[in-house]
Amino acid sequence: MRFHALLFVVVFSAVAVSAQEPTTRIRAATVIDGTGKVLRNATIVVQGSKITSIDTGVSGSASYNLGQLTVLPGMIDVHAHVAWHFDKDGRYAARPGSPASEILYSAENAFVTLMAGFTTIQSPGSASDVELREAIARGALPGPRILTSIRQINERSGTPEEIRALVRQLKQDGADVVKIFASASIRDGGKQTMTEEQLRAVCGEANTLGMRTMVHAHSPESIKASVNAGCQQIEHGVFADDEVLKLMADKGVYFDPNIGVVLQNYLKNKAKFLGVGNYTEEGFAYMEKGLDLNKTMIKKAVATPNLKMVLGTDAVAGAHGHNADEIVERVRQGGQKPMDAIISATSLAAKSLGLEKAIGTLGPGYDADLIAVDGDPLSDISAVTRVAFVMKGGKVYKHVASGAKSNSEF
């Protein structure tokens, strides 16, 4: 990992905030608000951690004049394994190291993710996520806001009654979401693994408790069974066909396909994973085939009316900081309109997390989570990978001076 000469400014606001919170004015030629609107020559006024107004066409002083950069809401990745890392020998760590090394690797991943413009991520669960979530929320450690499932529920989690108890325990332990494995990994063919009774138990109990659910499901049967069991979001869906895509759209279930980052990252880093668990030659052959399956699937998904497709990467070791590639590939491979791809990573992703009143949109009353990218993503979607400015909760974490090289090489 190499740091480019970037100039970034970290502003620590005073802990004891007086009635007069500092005002920051951010001006840019173009602002995309996350809901589909574009504002020109806009000044975003931030007081403390919130946006208070967005003014257009006015001049006056600006704390940050971002010139020709395009401002967007901080991006959201609804599926990023923030704890996954390569070890000091460069290999994927099959077993956790010391608690101290695990949390430091997680903090590094959180940092590069924030620098790539992602101000919120959802982690489908590692033991260290809660401590990381709390440390970042305290305000000094730079990283995205984190939501986590802490653990996962799968076909070996027990009887329906035992599964219901596990869901209640997750709530007690502070999980933000329940992560479920309804099918095998793509490296094992992706067939359904949990029974319908098990799926009804986990998603039924979660719904009763008001907890969100996200389900790893590749095969059409596993997607159908999950949707019919009342689960709220489907992950991956490599084998999703027209029927289940329509079923998700009809039932208002969120779909989080991962077509632009995870498989490419595994194949690029094959030597670092090979030999651990199901990272076998056969597993890699499945993943290689998955690239084409994904290409076919994403075109169908984009063409499915009313399908609520959110942005998630399944970022694992090696992929952190490259999250925005998923947005680029949605447009390139899937033919999604750039504005729709941006909405899926901002206001729609926020809605899937139940945070639509706080993040994912630029407007008065929203958290001041915003980024600026070099270029116009509506005409060149790769601009979302060139993040020059990052503000989260009113604090500036990154500001690349204009003309300096961007952050493409973390």
- Positive or negative, the CA dihedral 51, 55, 56, 61 is negative
- Closest-by-Cβ residue to Zn ion is 314
Cβ 312 to Zn ion shortest distance, Å: 8
Cβ 106 to Zn ion shortest distance, Å: 15
Cβ 267 to Zn ion shortest distance, Å: 16
Cβ 129 to Zn ion shortest distance, Å: 13
Cβ 82 to Zn ion shortest distance, Å: 11
Q: What helix, strand, coil percent values describe the chain, rounded to 5?
A: 35, 20, 45
Closest among 99, 1, 122, 84 to 276, alpha carbons compared: 84
Residue placing its CB nearer to Zn ion in the complex, 321 or 377: 321
CB 402 within 8 Å of CB 15: no
For the chain, the farthest-separated pair of C-alpha atoms sits apart, in whole angstroms, at: 65
Task: Look at strands 233-236 and 118-123 and give their pairing.
Answer: unpaired
- The residues of the shown chain that bind Zn ion, judged by CB under 5 A, are 124, 314
Tell me how far CA of residue 106 lies from CA of 12, 86, 102, 194, 295, in angstroms.
22, 11, 6, 30, 31
Residue placing its CB nearer to Zn ion in the complex, 130 or 378: 130
CB under 8 Å to 408, separation ≥6 — which residues? 4, 385, 386
Read off the amino acid at residue 65. N
Residue placing its CB nearer to Zn ion in the complex, 298 or 388: 298
Tell me how far CA of residue 409 lies from CA of 75, 118, 296, 318, in angstroms.
19, 16, 30, 12
Cβ 115 to Zn ion shortest distance, Å: 22
Cβ 358 to Zn ion shortest distance, Å: 25
Residue placing its CB nearer to Zn ion in the complex, 124 or 204: 124
Residue placing its CB nearer to Zn ion in the complex, 314 or 374: 314
Residue placing its CB nearer to Zn ion in the complex, 149 or 336: 149
Residue placing its CB nearer to Zn ion in the complex, 183 or 361: 183
Which residue in the block uniquely carries the two structure tokens 């204009």? 402
